[in-house]
Homo-oligomer: A and B are copies of this chain.
Amino acid sequence: MQLGMIGLGRMGANIVRRIVADGHTAVGCERRAQHIEELGAELGDGFQGSTDLAEFVRMLETPRVVWVMIPAGATSAVIDQVAELLEPGDIVIDGGNSRYHEDIARAERLRPKGIHYVDVGTSGGVFGRTRGYCLMIGGEAEQVKYLDPLLRSIAPGLAAAERTPGRTGEPSTAELGYLHCGPAGAGHFVKMVHNGIEYGAMAAYAEGLNILHKANYGAEHAGEFSAEEAPLEHPEYYRYDIDVPEVTEVWRRGSVVASWLLDLTAAALHADPDLESYSGRVSDSGEGRWTIDAAIDTGVPVPVLSSALFARFSSRGEALYADKVLSAMRKAFGGHDELPGT
């Protein structure tokens, strides 16, 4: 089967690599000619490409399958552009990180032209090439079924995890690592919630490790506390000099909190035990925010996921004005002067 891929950055190129390795062919479209040449040299007959969108479209067999894998901000424009060149029956896939609202709008825009729209939430990051990508898919059932051979090649496959007890016989596609979640937008909706969970789980580890990091507080602060914090009632309970990197390693085997995120954390802490290469300003892409928006719209309590998001905002200094208000109030009612930073 043939896949057209617009965007040969890391993700796009790796998806192409996986499907070509699995016997399919790919046609690429990418401004930077060098990317096309290099991938062609690497993949041989299975791959060809063009820097020109119209030529790219002409190189595709019909019905055309065009996967767009470019930064979210540029996706809508490119989809509209390529749609001008496509014919009824062709399929456009957005594999990036669009908000699912946009998927709904795009599907409606393309429908009158007879062009089918499929959104694929793609998880896996830099490890996806070898590990495979977890694919969450929205669109019409018939088109998703048509794409099955490609999706199967991109996804990790059954062997990537032990089979869930009770699941026997022919595996569902979910067991192979891809799932048709519903109509247009459903893929990015599920991916959005996935990322919301990711934020929460990441924060759970980070907060816990911070407690371990500070477990020697009683030894370090023997009786000397600044006026800005309450004195420690039982310093004898906080005299542990914990090796945090080793703790993340030991939890990887046999514990309840074993996870892929923990694997990565253990690797990061092994490489940089004091995390000296990080300043602690934590970015957030849109998904964590949109997850909270969706929860609020539908009345779902998400205190953990939202706390995780807000901690990222705070890490970037966004609580500063609020903190100043607190200091101003304390000064007003208690005459407390704020203490200088250390």
Contact = CB atoms under 8 A, between A and B. Distances in A.
Nearest to A173: B250
Given A275-B325, A311-B323, A329-B268, A254 B189 contact: no
Contacts of A207: 196-197, 200, 295, 300-305, 322
A223 to B, nearest CB: 10
A157 to B, nearest CB: 7
A265 to B, nearest CB: 6
Given A203-B326, A256-B194, A307 B304 contact: yes
Interface in A97-143: 99-101, 104, 123-128, 131-136
Interface residues of A, number: 171
A292 interface: yes
B200 A246 contact: no
Contacts of A268: 328-329, 331-332
Contacts of A125: 256, 333-335
Contacts of A181: 240, 242-243, 247
A38 interface: no
A178 B251 CA distance: 9
Nearest to A305: B207
A240 B139 CA distance: 11
B326 A134 contact: no
Contact of A281 (B198, B241, B327): B327
B279 A327 contact: yes
A32 interface: no
Interface in A53-76: 73
14 contacts: A10-B335, A124-B255, A125-B335, A128-B254, A132-B254, A136-B247, A157-B253, A178-B250, A182-B242, A196-B208, A215-B294, A231-B286, A281-B339, A311-B314
